[in-house]
Structure 1
């Protein structure tokens, strides 16, 4: 026994109940209990439901542009109109594929990327991530088998086996754009192959991305579908089993029409409470660095930190593990005031460039929506591609054009910044390198 608890596997007096937990009989007490469970369920399920909704829109709904087990390639960098998920980067081209694993592996084939940065992020149904990249497997042409839970066969010698945790997985490919060489990136995208996996015609529940953030009924329908398709980690059984009190994972798919009015009202209130909680918790995401920035140490690998996991995915889906892409977020300036164009201009100084072996960038997003800011310069980020990798650098962040090449346009209202460092140096991963605070004024003279 210790501070982390004890193992119950060999303890006969500690076991699983054969029945669901009880629910209070009194209507008011029952509604209070359901409301408490509903908040927990919404927080737990948010990453899975948001991903499921994205899959629905991309490959399941009637007229969807894609299909299961097939890559859909973005041919231009993300812009303000990008809707697939919040807070996209603008340094790479994205490619998406959704795979429903059966009893056999799915095969992924990648070309030789040479020295160009790439990563295939393999994301399970609950947003846990691993990567196929130069860091993990090298950049030469290769074949990979994505194998389902319980698979125990032998793979050919020339195939790398990648084990995944859930039946439904999301493959998110990023390929770096160098000096606008989109044609080269398109050729690499077209050489990516994917075979195997099961069709998605019988998945049944189809929901929209906006719908699951606005309608509690759509949210819980999707959560029930996720649980039925993927189950859940064994060590989260005691947490998830509570949600049977919400009629999830019952003998039939979840149906809000069979709920009594008190239960339905409690779930509706719990969903609204959880959404408000997620929005208000965004600035707390990550560990404070003391410079106004926060650093998410466990993105893509949150473990049992369900609130942090939910907030991370509420900010933007598909967050990479820190070893692949360390990111820093800030909503505030050096005085702790929220960033807003009406209070600018601002400057961000780099006495030395972020240590990395690939590249880095600072990207700006609307605080409320997580979307890129439309502006006359068509510029959404600045980093090593524009500023180089050596010496100092200064970014000027303002709503109006200061007439300098290092201008990062912002809206008049509130915004936030993400500093992404791809293939980060060890000092970044370890936390000994930190970005400077965002300061009011345009630089040393505080004048434009």
Structure 2
């Protein structure tokens, strides 16, 4: 029997295999595959945090993938190019942003500009890549400043905060997506909007 700690810091007893159980090669392979699938998102995001901790400022990895220092966001200004191989099957009708969250260091404030009737969504993912907040046009979210906090944060939201979302893990990811028509006119129109996303929000002050 083993004692494990859950995400909510509760200790629970987990029974081991029945004495005398014979572990076949097939069983070991299946358990190994399940363990890999379960742990891969957490290891992947941990590795990204290690890598992004070295990022000195806003920029692009390989000229195609938005990168920013921890607890910041970098936005693209156009669709993800076909050379992009860091993320599988990206949407082809949105402008992407990306940021790694380390909420044990500090809460993070993200700004949502007034996108008008344009579709937009900010994907908020914990270390397991499970969503921890509904922030987007389809949820009826409005423009403003939103506070992202970790599981142990017990402060109070400062004045000017529109809403708050709590991640069950300190490590997370923030991926804004903003719809753009494939026209020169909409590329011009969307530029000032996506440029506001990474900035320290003046409307929060």
TM-score, normalising length: structure 1: 0.35
Q: Deviations over 1:177-215 (max 9, x none)?
A: 1334223322212212466xxxxxxxxxxxxxxxxxxxx
Does structure 1 conserve the Cα–Cα contact (< 8 Å) formed by 2:68 and 2:98?
no
2:32 equivalent to 1:38:
yes
Q: Contact conserved, 2:45 with 2:172, CA < 8 A, in 1?
A: no
Q: For residue 187 of structure 1, what is the aligned residue in structure 2?
A: 192
Unpaired runs of 5+ in structure 1? 1-14, 196-448
On the 8 A contact 1:110/1:193 being kept in 2, the answer is no
The match for 2:73 is 71
CA distance in 1, matches of 2:155, 2:165: 13
Matched ranges for 1:256-335 at <5 A: none
Q: Which runs of 5+ in 2 are unaligned?
A: 1-10, 62-66, 201-205
Report the alpha carbon displacement of residue 53 of structure 1 after superposing the two structures with TM.
4.8
How far 1:46 sits from its partner (Å)? 3.2
Is the helix fraction higher in 1 or 2? 1
Q: Is the 8 A contact 1:106 1:194 kept in 2?
A: no
Compared CA separation, residues 146 and 137, structure 1 to 2 (3 A): farther
Q: Is the 8 A contact 1:107 1:143 kept in 2?
A: yes
| Whole-Å separation in 1 of the counterparts to 2:55 and 2:106 | 27
Q: Which has the higher contact order (CA 8 A, sep 6+)?
A: 2
CA spacing shift, 1:176–1:16, aligned 2, 3 Å: closer
Instruction: Identify the match of residue 172 of structure 1 among 170, 175, 186.
Output: 175
Counterpart contact for 1:149–1:166, Cα < 8 Å = yes
Query: Which stretch of the first structure deviates more once superposed, 176-185 or 159-168?
Result: 176-185
Q: Is the 8 A contact 1:98 1:169 kept in 2?
A: yes
Q: Which moved more, 1:30-39 or 1:178-187?
A: 30-39
Deviation at 1:126, TM superposition (A): 1.1
TM-score, structure 2 normalization: 0.70
The Cα shift of 1:20 comes to 8.0
Cα distance in 2 for residues equivalent to 1:100 and 1:183: 33
Give the Cα separation in 2 of the matches to 1:55 and 1:153: 24
The answer to whether the aligner puts 1:111 opposite 2:109 as a matched pair is no
- Report what 1:102 is aligned to: 104
SS in 2 for 1:46: helix
User: Residue deviations 1:90-127, cap 9 Å, x none?
Assistant: 11110101110026421112222122211111011112
Q: CA RMSD in A?
A: 3.3
The Cα offsets for residues 137-194 of structure 1, whole Å up to 9 and x where unpaired, read as 5333x11110111333322353111111211111111111133422332221221246
Q: Give 1:238's aligned residue.
A: none
In 2 relative to 1, CA 16–113 (structure 1 residues): closer, same or farther, beyond 3 Å?
A: closer
Matched, 1:135 2:129: no
Please name the residue that 2:127 is paired with: 125
Greater share of residues in strand: 2
Work out which of the two has the higher radius of gyration on C-alpha atoms and give 1 or 2: 1
